[in-house]
Every structure is written in C-alpha cells, then in structure tokens.
C-alpha cells in the first residue's frame, strides 16, 4: 500500500462527514467510482453525500445505490472531507463547488494524466485505465470490505473506460481486478445488457443523422462528424446519449484520429471529443492546447466560437499532429 492510499484510508476511518463529487455529464467510470466510494463510507457508519449537477444517465440507474447521487442542495454545507473522483479539474464539478462552505480535508482521486492536482491530497494514477481501478486498489489495500454492490459499480466503471476491455489502456492489473469483482457474484451478462444494449431509439435516430454527414480528411486518417442542436431536437435524444458515438468513427479502417463535434445549448459553445488509434498521436496534447485534456488516446475540450471556426482550428491541429507522427 502506497503512502497516499494509506493516508486516505486513515482519513476515511477517522473523520465522520463526507462529500463525494465527480464531473458533470458523468460517464460510467465517474458514476461507478462515486457510488463505490459512497458505499465504503456507509459501511463504516459515516455520514456521506454524493452530488452531481446532472442526473445519473438512464443506462446506469440500475447500479446499486444510484439514487444516492443527488443534485447539490440550495443551502451550502460543510464536511469533514470532500473527495473529488475521476475529475481532472475542479471546475468540472460544476455548481457543487459553490455549495461547500468548509472542509478539513480535500482529496482528489483520478487517473487522467491532465489532472491539475487541485486538492490537498492528490492521488493521481495515469497508468490506471479507470478511476474505478484506483478505488478497487483502495478497497483491497486499505483494508475495506468489497461487497457485491461495490463490485457491480466498479466493474461498470472499469469496463466502460476500457471499451469493454478492448482499448489499449486495458492492463493485466485491471483484468485481474475485473476477475476479483466477478468472483463476488455479479452478473456480467445482465450488467452488460444495461450498459451496452439498452440505448433509447432516439440515440439511433441521432446517430443516423450524424453519420450521414461524417467526413474523412488527412488522406482518410481523420474521421469527424457533428451533433447539432437540431439533431437533438429532431431525434429526441439527450446529451447523455452521446456517449460512445465517437467509436463509430474510430472503428473505420485506416482512421487514426476520430473527432466528435457537439454543439452545446449555450450560445456559441461546443464540445469536441478526440480519439486516437496510434501510439504516436497523443490527443491529450491536442486537447490541452485548447484548454481541455484527458488521456493519450481519449480526450476532450470545450470551445467558444462559431462551429466552422472551431472545426477549422481543431482539424488543423490534428493535421499537424499526424504530420509530426509521420502519418
């Protein structure tokens, strides 16, 4: 057990009131890790709350304890300990940050290489494919009891951030962790049906619209498409339904970089997701250039400006990265 793991485990045992936060528009790793941490603390008899600006995505509401995650309250509160999980910047917790009036300990647990280390205690493990892997290590080496409910949440966390164990970030350690999680008695088939085979029809309608305008550039090494406000309106899809859509562009033979441009509700704002299939093309570096971040193979950034202006800037940066890699 490393020093940070030991220190965090001691704080969890010693203090009484806790707040667990993760980023808005949470994905499977964020939700699964947040719930598992909450359950550890509940098992210790602690007072614990879990906040998010956004609701739990529909496909993750089956997870044990999903109803524990609530919107930040109107009245600010104090806690002995605030833990941010799977959050590379403090700004990504959204309005929750303004609802905390006091804390004795501030802990940041994450696996993003772009993490800004904004807390008092920063346990950042870029080699971990998911924050759920770090929470699993905390349970195992911190002397906590792993329950089946925790295991289900952590399996969802690790599975989703590794692309169901297909991405290059899949490690022997996370496969061993997955095996131990399964040994607790979780039903992998049922979990996978919820996570990967329970999408609303509106998502498919939006995907049809988006792929109809998919473009290839850089000698077909870059694939990109847009999700516009009109597509959301006409399809009935929700923002949470965008998760995983970029993989359709990433899966094209010969494509090295996939991009998903998403027009946001705020006027003049958009979001870009980046994916790389080549070890010499680091999309985290590209995203960081625009104020975003993530991982070498998966990153994101938010932009202000007209859609065409954003597209031109991003495509130029990707072209430069491909040329620098000799592609």
CATH number where 112 lies: 3.90.1640.10
Say whether both 164 and 214 belong to one domain.
Answer: no
Per-residue pLDDT of 131-156, as tens digits, reads: 999 999 999 999 999 999 999 999 99
List C-alpha distances in Å: 51 to 28, 69, 82, 87: 15, 5, 11, 13
Q: Which residues contact 53 (CB under 8 A, 6 or more apart)?
A: 24, 71, 72, 93, 94, 95, 96
Distance CA 214, CA 226 (A): 8
Over 80: is that where the pLDDT of 163 sits? yes
Per-residue pLDDT of 21-42, as tens digits, reads: 999 999 999 999 999 999 999 9
Residue 97: band (very low, low, confident or very high) from pLDDT cuts 50, 70, 90: very high
Say whether both 21 and 166 belong to one domain.
Answer: yes
Say whether both 98 and 179 belong to one domain.
Answer: yes
Say whether both 133 and 86 belong to one domain.
Answer: yes
Please say which residue of 176, 196, 216 terminates a domain. 196
How confident is the model over 285-303, as a mean pLDDT?
A: 94
List C-alpha distances in Å: 213 to 206, 209, 216: 12, 7, 10
Over 70: is that where the pLDDT of 1 sits? no
As a whole number of angstroms, the longest Cα–Cα distance in the chain is 58
Please say which residue of 142, 175, 196 terminates a domain. 196
| β-pair type (17-21, 47-51) | parallel
Distance CA 240, CA 58 (A): 8
pLDDT at 188: 96
Over 70: is that where the pLDDT of 158 sits? yes
**Strands of 189-253, DSSP E:** 215-217, 222-227
Domain count, the chain: 2
List C-alpha distances in Å: 242 to 27, 198, 292: 11, 14, 18
pLDDT at 160: 96
pTM: 0.91
Over 80: is that where the pLDDT of 9 sits? yes
Say whether both 140 and 229 belong to one domain.
Answer: no
Q: Which domain holds residue 298?
A: 202-324
Residue 2: band (very low, low, confident or very high) from pLDDT cuts 50, 70, 90: confident
User: Cβ(178)–Cβ(152) under 8 Å?
Assistant: no
On average, the pLDDT of the chain sits at 96
How confident is the model over 191-211, as a mean pLDDT?
A: 95
User: Cβ(240)–Cβ(58) under 8 Å?
Assistant: yes
Say whether both 36 and 174 belong to one domain.
Answer: yes
Per-residue pLDDT of 120-130, as tens digits, reads: 999 999 999 99
Say whether both 111 and 186 belong to one domain.
Answer: yes
Per-residue pLDDT of 69-89, as tens digits, reads: 999 999 999 999 999 999 999
| β-pair type (17-21, 77-85) | parallel
Say whether both 277 and 159 belong to one domain.
Answer: no
Distance CA 267, CA 280 (A): 35
Say whether both 43 and 187 belong to one domain.
Answer: yes
User: Cβ(164)–Cβ(137) under 8 Å?
Assistant: no
Say whether both 252 and 169 belong to one domain.
Answer: no
Torsion angle, CA of 177/45/55/76, rounded to 10 degrees? -130
Please say which residue of 179, 196, 213 terminates a domain. 196
For residue 280, give the CATH number of its domain.
3.10.310.30
Say whether both 192 and 219 belong to one domain.
Answer: no
| Sheet (strand 121-124) strand order | 69-70, 47-51, 17-21, 77-85, 100-110, 121-124
Say whether both 148 and 37 belong to one domain.
Answer: yes
Per-residue pLDDT of 169-180, as tens digits, reads: 999 999 999 999
- DSSP structure class, residue 187: -
Give the residue among 174, 199, 318, 313 at the shortest CA–CA distance from 249: 318
């Amino acid at each position: 057990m490393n020093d940070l793991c030991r220190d965090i485990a001691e704080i969890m045992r010693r203090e009484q009131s806790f707040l667990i936060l993760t980023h808005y528009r949470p994905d499977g790793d964020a939700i699964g890790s947040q719930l598992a941490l909450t359950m550890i603390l509940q098992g210790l008899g602690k007072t614990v709350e879990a906040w998010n600006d956004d609701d739990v995505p529909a496909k993750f509401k089956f997870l044990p304890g999903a109803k524990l995650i609530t919107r930040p309250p109107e009245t600010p509160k104090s806690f002995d300990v605030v833990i941010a999980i799977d959050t590379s910047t403090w700004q990504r917790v959204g309005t929750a940050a303004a609802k905390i009036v006091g804390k004795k300990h501030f802990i940041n647990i994450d696996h993003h290489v772009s993490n800004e280390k904004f807390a008092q205690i920063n346990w950042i493990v870029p080699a971990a494919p998911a924050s759920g892997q770090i929470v699993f290590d905390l349970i195992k080496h911190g002397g906590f009891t792993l329950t089946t409910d925790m295991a289900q949440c952590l399996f969802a966390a690790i599975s989703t951030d590794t692309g169901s164990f297909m991405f290059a970030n899949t490690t022997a350690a996370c496969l061993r962790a997955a095996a131990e999680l399964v040994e607790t008695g979780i039903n992998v088939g049922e979990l996978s049906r919820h996570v990967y085979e329970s999408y609303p029809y509106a998502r498919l309608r939006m995907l049809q619209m988006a792929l109809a305008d998919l473009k290839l550039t850089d000698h077909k090494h870059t694939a990109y498409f847009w999700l516009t406000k009109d597509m959301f309106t006409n399809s009935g899809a929700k923002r949470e339904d965008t998760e995983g859509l970029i993989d359709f562009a990433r899966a094209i033979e010969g494509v090295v970089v996939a991009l998903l441009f998403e027009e946001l509700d705020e006027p003049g704002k958009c979001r870009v997701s980046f994916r790389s299939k080549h070890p010499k093309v680091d999309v985290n570096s590209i995203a960081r250039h625009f104020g975003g971040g993530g991982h070498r193979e998966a990153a994101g950034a938010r932009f202000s400006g007209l859609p065409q202006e954003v597209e031109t800037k991003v495509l130029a940066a990707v072209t430069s990265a491909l040329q620098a890699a000799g592609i």
